[in-house]
Amino acid sequence: MSEVLRVLLVDDQPIIRSGFAMMLSVEDDLEVVGEAADGREAIELARAQRPDVIVMDVQMPVMDGIAATREIVAEELGRVIILTTFDADSYLFDALRAGASGFLLKNAEAEQLVEALRAVGHGHALLAPEVTKRVIEQMSAPGAGGGAGATGTGAPTGGAHAELLAHLTDRELDVLRLIGAGRSNSEIAADLVIGAATVKTHVSSIFAKLQVRDRVGAVIIAHESGVVGGG
């Protein structure tokens, strides 16, 4: 029997919260434990309810979703999925730097929402290929480095990255390069002509050595350090 994942919904539009809550009400393994209309309320509810996953809008009054995500992740109050639209690229990198575990489109179908919550709730990053591509394009753009640094999250860069990367084997660097390029595990296995289980082992080792929780953190380090692109 699957464990029940506790979900907190955060959006300043009641109709979106109620729509998501209705979609989730039929799932036996998902339980909505609270709804918040702004980032500050989300943090307070997360402290009280300790949800497994928080579905977080970005633009809200009082405190926006990026700032709220940063505090929630820092306090380890739950894993965050950012609600977004693909025309809101400017938020993607800031959300990743804040510690978001993935993204979900505001017009997501019920099945997509459920799959996203289960994936993130069970410790996986939700970084769809389309989103990865947008993030990579943003990080590769001229001046992107300055923008990223301006988020003020305190994420290690420069020398700190080099120190962590020094612990990777040559093969792990190859795998990291492909993770940064948005490749899935199966694609990495095909590119490097190695087994899927071997890729999974390398990926786990990379996460541990780079001190990141998931693929999202690895993508950021791969680009900030110049392992991918960078020119």
Quote the mean pLDDT of the chain. Answer: 81
Model confidence over 47-81: pLDDT tens digits?
Answer: 999 999 999 998 899 999 999 999 999 999 999 99
Domain count, the chain: 2
Same domain, 9 and 120: yes
pLDDT of residue 132: 60
Same domain, 12 and 122: yes
pLDDT band, very low/low/confident/very high, at 84 (cuts 50, 70, 90): confident
Mark which of 94, 117, 133 sits at the end of a domain. 133
- What share of the chain in percent tops pLDDT 70? 80
Same domain, 56 and 119: yes
Both structure tokens of 57? 């809008």
Same domain, 115 and 38: yes
3-state class (DSSP) for residue 56: strand
- Let me know: does 137 contact 223? Beta carbons within 8 Å: no
- 162 inside domain: yes
Domain with 205 in it: 158-224
> Of the candidates 40, 146, 45, 49, which has an alpha carbon nearest to the alpha carbon of residue 93?
146
Determine the length of the chain: 231
pTM of this structure:
0.67
> Of the candidates 114, 111, 125, 120, which has an alpha carbon nearest to the alpha carbon of residue 182?
125
Name the residue with tokens 């918040």.
Answer: 36
- What share of the chain in percent tops pLDDT 90? 43
132 CB contacts (<8 Å, ≥6 apart)? 182, 219
- 230 inside domain: no
121 CB contacts (<8 Å, ≥6 apart)? 5, 7, 52, 53, 79
